[in-house]
Amino acid sequence: MDGNVVTGCIVFGTFMSFVAYQEKDSQWEWWQAAVFSCIILAGLEGLNASLPIVFGSFPKIPVRGKHLDEFEFRDKLFICFNKISAVPFMYHLTAICLLSPAIKVEAKDATYTNTVGAFVALFVVYDFFYSLFHRFLHLRSVYSLVHKHHHRQHAPTRGNSDAVNVHPFEFVMGEYNHLLAVYLVSPHMYAALAFITVGGVLASLNHTRANVVLPGAYDVKAHDLHHRIPQSNYGQYIMMWDHVMGSFRDYTKTVDARK
Ligand SMILES: [Zn+2]
Ligand SMILES: [Zn+2]
């Protein structure tokens, strides 16, 4: 059996054991957990289904790398696990928002600082850690163990499916990095939920051909270029830390670069 599949199963088992351990004192009935799971998974699928409707008319980024046409069993297994892992993640996000005294949840406690300001800070903090982690995954000694799977795709087109087609270890680490950012920034719960929702949309858009640009903040072409030239643009949402760490590569200046 493929080493990646074995590793994925081990990570899956360990992760679910951790979740089960965490939830042993839960007050939820099984059907409440089932309803919560269905709402999260249906919400994610609805969000993904809306992307082509909203962004389908945007100009297309040319395909320059080799497209991964067919998903193998391993791709489908990883995608399936990663999508399901959104359920315990959203449970833990909700829990940290409700249990942390530093995170406000009521509308009367919302301020510009803990909503708009915190929303921006969440992306800055998240991408600081993500850029370092992503850079680590590209180290020659660890690349083939985890991150190589995601880079089998040189020209993403499928949006969410190509975005979550990563090794489960990488996905769970990236997912819970959002929780770390929420813990460190302590935003209003509105900002935390907006961060997760907008983040999910941007991560999926990164793996479409839609040329979506938020000037000075976000550009689909930056991650698209990373799929062709992996030693560049390690950020997931913003390229701020790549500018700081010297790994930013401008798409328009390397339009013909191939890898
Ligand atoms: Zn990618
Ligand atoms: Zn990469």
Confidence label for 36 from pLDDT (cuts 50, 70 and 90): confident
pLDDT for residue 154 is more than 90:
no
Question: Number of C-alpha atoms within 13 angstroms, CB side, residue 241?
Answer: 18
- Centre of ligand 2 from the C-alpha of residue 151, in Å: 6
Confidence label for 259 from pLDDT (cuts 50, 70 and 90): very low
pLDDT at 116: 97
- Centre of ligand 2 from the C-alpha of residue 217, in Å: 19
The mean pLDDT value for 128-145 works out to 95
pLDDT for residue 4 is more than 60:
no
- Centre of ligand 2 from the C-alpha of residue 150, in Å: 7
Fill in the amino acid letter for 216.
G
Least confidently predicted of 33-42, 49-58, 62-71, 206-215: 62-71
Contacts 24+ apart (CB under 8 A), 33-38: 36/87, 36/90, 36/91, 37/87
Confidence label for 1 from pLDDT (cuts 50, 70 and 90): very low
- Centre of ligand 1 from the C-alpha of residue 88, in Å: 23
Cα–Cα distance between 180 and 137 in angstroms, integer? 19
215-248: buried (b, 16+ CB within 10 Å) or exposed (e) per residue? eeebbbbbbbbbbbebebbbbbbbbbbbeeeebb
- Centre of ligand 1 from the C-alpha of residue 207, in Å: 6
pLDDT for residue 95 is more than 70:
yes
pLDDT for residue 48 is more than 70:
yes
- Centre of ligand 1 from the C-alpha of residue 126, in Å: 16
DSSP output for 183-237: HHH---HHHHHHHHHHHHHHHHHTTSSB--EETTTEEHHHHHHHHHSSSS---SS
Both tokens assigned to 179: 């929780």
pLDDT at 21: 56
Ligand in closest contact with the CA of 137 = 2
pLDDT for residue 194 is more than 70:
yes
Q: CA-CA distances (angstroms) from residue 171 to 141, 165, 224?
A: 19, 9, 18
Ligand in closest contact with the CA of 204 = 1
Confidence label for 6 from pLDDT (cuts 50, 70 and 90): low
Q: Residue 214: which residues within 8 A CB-CB, separation 6 or more? A: none
pLDDT at 37: 84
Domain ranges of the chain: 3-14+25-253
- Centre of ligand 1 from the C-alpha of residue 166, in Å: 8
